Amino acid sequence: MTTRTRLRLAAAALCSLFALTACANGTGGTAPDTEFADREGPTVIGTDTTAESRVVAALYGQLLTAAGQRVRTATTHYATPADTTEAVVEGRIGLAPAYESTVLRTLPGGGALPGNMAATLSMALPVGVTALPPAAAEGGVVLAVPGATARRHDLKDISDLGRAGGRPTLGGPASTDPDSPTPAALKKAYGVTLTSAGTSATADVLVLRSTDPVLTRDHLVVLDDPAEVIPSEHVFPLIQSPYAGLAARKALARLGPVLTTGQLALLAASVNAGEAPGKAARSWLRAKGLLK
């Protein structure tokens, strides 16, 4: 390597260092809500406005605090999970609950590799941002039918809808979600014929979020999706890499197998009923033996 080449590489490295410092200090864009670990700032945890996001963020914060990490909650609540993803990527916050398919839609060129979401996220995320292992819980779209209908026709997965007869209607509160399957997609994957009922709550097959309290309240049966027509939306910690040290990784990994979709729905319901996210998170963590 020539002396000139070495100087050019050193200059490039110095420029990169200045660029990173500018990002950390917010000088290259909007003012940040966080500082990088090399400046000994706390991990700032951001959320969107939903009860689900706020309580998961509280779970993250209390586990990290118990592991000796310094944390604080961002003063800004972002409008959507896509907004929190962008905030982490841009360095405005250090950590946020994120959802697999939402992150991939938010990032440029975020196409999924079949059966390997971890590798997909790793390739899609920019350097300096890490997707930690997901919880068992999903916050995405599901298709559900009334319990009586499921028992009458022995409905267990989407392909079984062919036994229901006629042309069942498809609709519900999550019909406008980007991950909501179309009748055409379901026909191609499962050979079942459905007609769109838009956002009608009286549809035969309801399109709902997996944590919607109506699932439990109305004793609905969620249909399995073996063909994976509906994209995966497991919740996971999206974190700025400087904050993803061994202690933080171990602390957040404890949540993974314990936080199921059903448990997340119960936690979100408690917050929607007026319980503070921190209080709901603390009680749940103690009940599960994850916090003293």
Chosen domain end from 199, 222, 245: 222
Report pLDDT for 6. Answer: 37
Kindly state whether residue 25 falls inside one of the protein's structural domains.
no
DSSP per-residue codes, the chain:
--HHHHHHHHHHHHHHHHHHHHHHHTTTSSPPS---GGGTPPEEEEEESSHHHHHHHHHHHHHHHHTT--EEEEEEEESSHHHHHHHHHTTS-SEEEEEHHHHHHHSTT-PPPTT-HHHHHHHHSPTTEEEPPPPS-B-SEEEEEEHHHHHHHT--BGGGGGGG-S--EEE-TTTTSTTPPPHHHHHHHH----EE-TT-TT-SEEEEETT-THHHHTTEEEPB-TT--SPP-BEEEEEEGGG--HHHHHHHHTTTTT--HHHHHHHHHHHHTT--HHHHHHHHHHHTTS--
Kindly state whether residue 4 falls inside one of the protein's structural domains.
no
pLDDT tens, position by position, 154-188? 999 999 998 887 889 999 999 999 899 999 999 99
Whether the predicted pLDDT of 33 surpasses 80: no
Domain CATH for 194: 3.40.190.120
107, two tokens: 């990032």
Whether the predicted pLDDT of 17 surpasses 80: no
Angle at 222 between CA 118 and CA 211, to 5 degrees: 65
Poorest-confidence range of 31-40, 124-133, 249-258, 275-284?
31-40
Report pLDDT for 198. Answer: 84
Residues of the chain with pLDDT > 70: what percent? 84
Together in a domain, 193 and 280: no
Kindly state whether residue 7 falls inside one of the protein's structural domains.
no
Together in a domain, 121 and 260: yes
Q: Which band of pLDDT confidence, cut at 50, 70 and 90, is reported for residue 112?
A: low
Together in a domain, 198 and 129: no
Q: 286 or 23, which is more confident?
A: 286
Whether the predicted pLDDT of 21 surpasses 50: no
pLDDT tens, position by position, 57-95? 999 999 999 999 999 999 889 999 999 999 999 999 999
Q: Which band of pLDDT confidence, cut at 50, 70 and 90, is reported for residue 110?
A: low
Which structural domain, as residue segments, surrounds residue 244? 36-138+234-287
Chosen domain end from 173, 196, 222: 222
Together in a domain, 244 and 104: yes
Q: What is the pTM of this model?
A: 0.81
Kindly state whether residue 192 falls inside one of the protein's structural domains.
yes
Domain CATH for 63: 3.40.190.10
Report pLDDT for 25. Answer: 35
Together in a domain, 93 and 182: no
Kindly state whether residue 31 falls inside one of the protein's structural domains.
no
Together in a domain, 62 and 207: no
pLDDT, average across residues 198-204: 87
Together in a domain, 41 and 131: yes
Kindly state whether residue 172 falls inside one of the protein's structural domains.
yes
Together in a domain, 162 and 274: no
Whether the predicted pLDDT of 199 surpasses 60: yes
106, two tokens: 């938010």
Report pLDDT for 146. Answer: 95
pLDDT tens, position by position, 122-155? 888 999 999 999 999 999 999 999 999 999 999 9
Whether the predicted pLDDT of 115 surpasses 90: no
Kindly state whether residue 24 falls inside one of the protein's structural domains.
no
CA distances (Å), origin 251, targets 63, 68, 237, 267: 6, 10, 11, 19
Alpha-carbon 279 to chain mean position: 21
Chosen domain end from 189, 222, 255: 222
Report pLDDT for 109. Answer: 64
Q: 18 or 148, which is more confident?
A: 148
Together in a domain, 155 and 78: no
Count of domains for the chain: 2
Together in a domain, 169 and 202: yes
Q: Mean pLDDT score of the chain, rounded to an integer?
A: 85
Together in a domain, 41 and 124: yes
Kindly state whether residue 279 falls inside one of the protein's structural domains.
yes
Together in a domain, 171 and 216: yes
